[in-house]
Structure 1
Amino acid sequence: MKKFSYQQANTDHTLFIKHRAGKVTLLIIYVDDMIVTGDDTAKIEELQKCLASEFEIKDLGSLKYFLGVEVTRSKHGLFLSQRKYVMDLLADTGMLDCKPADTPIVENHKLGVYVDQSYLKSAPGRGLLFKKKNGHLDLEGYTNADYARNITDRHSTSGYFTFVGGNLVTWRSKKQNVVSRSFAESEYRGIAQGVCEIL
């Protein structure tokens, strides 16, 4: 990819990016599966030809399935789910006929594979909808932290949410590695994690 003047992303070494005249072309690869996308159709076609000159490739058209995630497009946006993966898992474990459960935890019941798969059986098509908002690709980030909430070790917990075009794309909540000396310090540590994610 570097030979074709693409830059490898620092945050994900399987992602390659090329900017040209305000447009972008992206390639993400996992073993022998890849996605080529962007808003520069000429560069996308050029990249596909370059890749085909290096090794045999097969264009499967619009993205429908990648690494266990099904992609469905509609006028509302993109819907991502793992329906096929869930159904295959239920079939492989002989749980296709199990009774669906509304939550992954059932009171007075031994937790285990049965409960998890019963929950999966209740709605195998659940997923994430990324709504299309014309002209709105703003990147937003929100952070928060508590101060020494853990009574055992006095560590704070911080978390962040990031949105692209109003759609939640990443989130995390984690106990901080060190003990903060003030509420402000715990907040700054949380902000630093959120900013790193946005970058």
Structure 2
Amino acid sequence: TAIPDNRRSGILGQASILTVTANGIDTSPVVRGVWMLENLLGTPPSPPPPDVEPFDPDTRGTTSIRQQLEKHRENPTCYDCHRKIDPMGFAFESFDAIGQWRDSYAKNIPVDASGKMPNGSEYNGIVEFKDVLLERKTQIARAFTSKLISYATGRRMEPADRPAIDAIVEELDRRGNGFYDLVELIVLSRTFQSI
């Protein structure tokens, strides 16, 4: 199905991202949410406490992944992390496991791609979610810059690299946050040139 460009635009609508955050058969708002926190925002969730047993909520009577996750969040041990993870993943539910657009799940159950972030921001669908993400534009630019420069240099970024990353992010913002500008700024950076 052809979909409007504003739903598919940017890296978040790319089939490669949508496929790597699914298992090939089903989507998972949890996997997609964790991917967003780790890779786009640079704030990976903490691992579950070591003394927490795998939780298998009673999902009888649920008809959607959203309802199953609501049952899961009823466990106080799971709530704190999942209130951050799940809204990041729900935005992508209109994309199936291989990145195709869908309006409903099996048995014609409508997709609900809405969410409420921990800060109270709400969205309904991927387009509004992208607007919510723009509130964190600098955080996203910093995380993406750090990931890309780490890839380019073949090493993890350390606290000592923060000034270089900040300088790149600042100049990138002045230039309009384009990807080609980011690549150029990384290649011209002392961090990259000193490898």
Compare the two structures and name the one with the higher strand fraction: 1
TM-score interval, normalised by the smaller of the two chains: under 0.3
- Higher normalized contact order (CA 8 Å, seq sep 6+, divided by chain length): 2
Structure showing greater Rg: 1
Compare the two structures and name the one with the higher helix fraction: 2
